[in-house]
Amino acid sequence: MKVKAYAKLNLCLDVVKRLPDGYHDLRMIMVPIDLFDTIDITFDTTTTIQANRRYLPNDDRNTIIKAINGLRERYGFSDQFRIKLNKNIPSQAGLGGGSADAAIVIKTMNALLDLKMDQDEMMAYGKTIGADVPYCIINKPALVSGIGDKVEPFSFVCPFYLFLVKPRKGVSTKLAFGNLDYDNLKHPNADRLKNELLACNYSGIIANMGNDLEQSALRLVKDIFTLKQELLDFGFDHAMMSGSGSTVFAITQDERLIDRAVLNFQRKYPFVKKAKIIDI
């Protein structure tokens, strides 16, 4: 079975507070985009994973293997799988690549083995793999809260375009959260952004986008600040980081601007992508 694992963007990420257990209470607007990994899963005599990126681990450090092994422990199945992963979503990018892979594998295992998990059960299990996995199970534009486990999907139609660029250096999610200055967070308003998206108020959308994790990520990867300024100077209406970074994305209503940007930025950065929000 061949499946697609779609990347996500954070249009808004508010770190509400740090919780006593070390996790963080968040309020976010997350959307899936047309960037995806392809995973081909077939039955075999042993479980193996082959990937097109040498840096990817082939044990429980890989979210795909972790998800399968955890399900095997829960449900007691003996089936083994050959997994081929074509990785297009960059790592340490704030695009949820590992979480997307785990989420689609959970859904695929549920179908292949008739595990009879409903959506809530898949999300609850996904939470044990990673904080973004419950969202990736839903895989629709959504208001996401808690530690990422509360997902409220909504649909909107608004004509704007996205351009993604990732500098060579990535950002560790653990370090991005660990270096936050809580007294100086901007707390972008996710609820207000949702309303502006539903109303298709482009200026209101731009005004309410923001990411509290930029504060610490900028100190870890200086290229993020440089890249944001380059995108604004190029003519984009807004530029910000997704998730814990280091991918920066820009927004415009001029599709021709993105086509010019692809030609310009691909000369300087290892990953560029013209993207659009999808609603599967």
How far from the centroid of its chain's Cα atoms is residue 208's Cα?
Answer: 19
Of 206, 181, 180, the C-alpha closest to 193 is: 206
Residues in the chain: 280
Instruction: Yes or no: say if 4 and 37 are a contact pair by the CB < 8 Å rule.
Output: yes
Q: Give the predicted TM-score (pTM) of the model.
A: 0.94
Q: What are the chain's domains?
A: 2-153 (3.30.230.10), 161-275 (3.30.70.890)
Quick one: average pLDDT of 171-199?
95
In the structure, what pLDDT confidence band is assigned to residue 132 with cuts at 50, 70 and 90? very high
- Give me the chain's average pLDDT, please: 95
Query: What DSSP element (H or E) covers 165?
Result: strand 161-166
What lies within 8 Å, CB to CB, of 203 at 6+ separation is none
Determine the residue type at 121: E
Annotated active-site positions, please? 8, 132
Residue-wise pLDDT for 36-60, tens only, equals 999 999 999 999 999 998 888 888 8
pLDDT computed for residue 59 by the predictor:
85
In the structure, what pLDDT confidence band is assigned to residue 279 with cuts at 50, 70 and 90? confident
| Residue 280 pLDDT greater than 80, yes or no | no
Can you read off the two tokens belonging to residue 203?
A: 């200026």
pLDDT computed for residue 23 by the predictor:
87
Instruction: Yes or no: say if 202 and 161 are a contact pair by the CB < 8 Å rule.
Output: no
How far from the centroid of its chain's Cα atoms is residue 280's Cα?
Answer: 16
Can you read off the two tokens belonging to residue 208?
A: 């309410």
| Residue 21 pLDDT greater than 90, yes or no | no
What lies within 8 Å, CB to CB, of 205 at 6+ separation is 11, 158, 160, 193, 196, 197, 251
